[in-house]
Chain A
Amino acid sequence: NAGVTQTPKFQVLKTGQSMTLQCAQDMNHEYMSWYRQDPGMGLRLIHYSVGAGITDQGEVPNGYNVSRSTTEDFPLRLLSAAPSQTSVYFCASRRARRSYEQYFGPGTRLTVT
C-alpha cells in the first residue's frame, strides 16, 4: 500500500492564481481531511469528507474548495491564491469517522508570492 499520497511536494504561486492540490489513498478509507500547518499554529482543519459525495467545512475553509467524487481521491482547490495561504498542507485519511488511527500524507509546501 502506498498509503496517503500528495502531489505536488512543492509549489510556488502568484497572488490570484488558482491550483489544485492532489490527494489519494489506497486503503479504502471513508474519512478524509485536509489540514494546514503554520508555525506555532498546529494543524488546522480546512475541509473534510465522511465518504464519496459528502464534504463539510472545518475551522479554516475560506478560500478553499473540495470535492469527493471517489473514495480514493480528495483534491483541494485554491480558488484565488493569497499570501495568507502560504503554508504546508497535509491530507489525511482514516477508515471511518470514529476510527482511531489517522494517516497523514507527506505534505505539500505552498508559497504564494
Chain B
Amino acid sequence: QQQVKQSPQSLIVQKGGISIINCAYENTAFDYFPWYQQFPGKGPALLIAIRPDVSEKKEGRFTISFNKSAKQFSLHIMDSQPGDSATYFCAARGADRGSTLGRLYFGRGTQLTVWP
C-alpha cells in the first residue's frame, strides 16, 4: 500500500510560471514532510521540509503548503527557471515507535521541465 501519493507524474511549465506538485498521505503517524530534488545522474538532495504543526514554509522561490486535516501537502515553485528542471519527490517520515520510526516514505516522483 502506497503511503504517499504524488501527482502529477510529469509537469511542463513555461519559464517564469508557477510549478505545483501535490502529495497526499494515508497514515497520520508522520512527523516530518521533506521534499527532495534530483537532477539526472545524481542522487536526491533535500530541498525543503515542513513539520505538521506549520501550515506553510517558504525558502526563496520554494514554498510548501500543508493541510493537516486533508492530509495533503504541496510544493510551489514560483518564477520557475530552466535550472529547476529535475525530478521532485515528496516524502513523509514515520513517527510510530517500532520499525517504521524514522523511515522515509517517498512519493513516486514528478518530472518537472521548465521551458525557456
For B108, the chain A residues whose CB sits under 8 A away are: 40-42
Q: How far is the CA of A104 from the CA of B91 in the complex (A)?
A: 14
Q: Identify B9's interface contact among A40, A58, A106, CB under 8 A.
A: A40
How many A-B residue pairs lie within 8 Å, measured between CB atoms?
Answer: 51
Chain A's interface: helix, strand, loop or mixed, by majority? Answer: strand
Contact of A105 among B43, B46, B99 (CB under 8 A): B43
Chain B residues positioned under 8 Å from A100 (CB to CB) = 32, 34, 46, 49
- Greatest chain B CB density within 10 A among A43, A44, A97, A105 is at A43
Give the CA-CA distance A98 to B94 in the complex, in Å: 9
CB-contacts of B33-49 with A (<8 A) = 34, 36, 41-46, 49
Residues in A lying within 8 Å of B, measured CB to CB: 4, 31, 35, 40-45, 48, 50, 56, 58, 90, 92, 97-98, 100-107
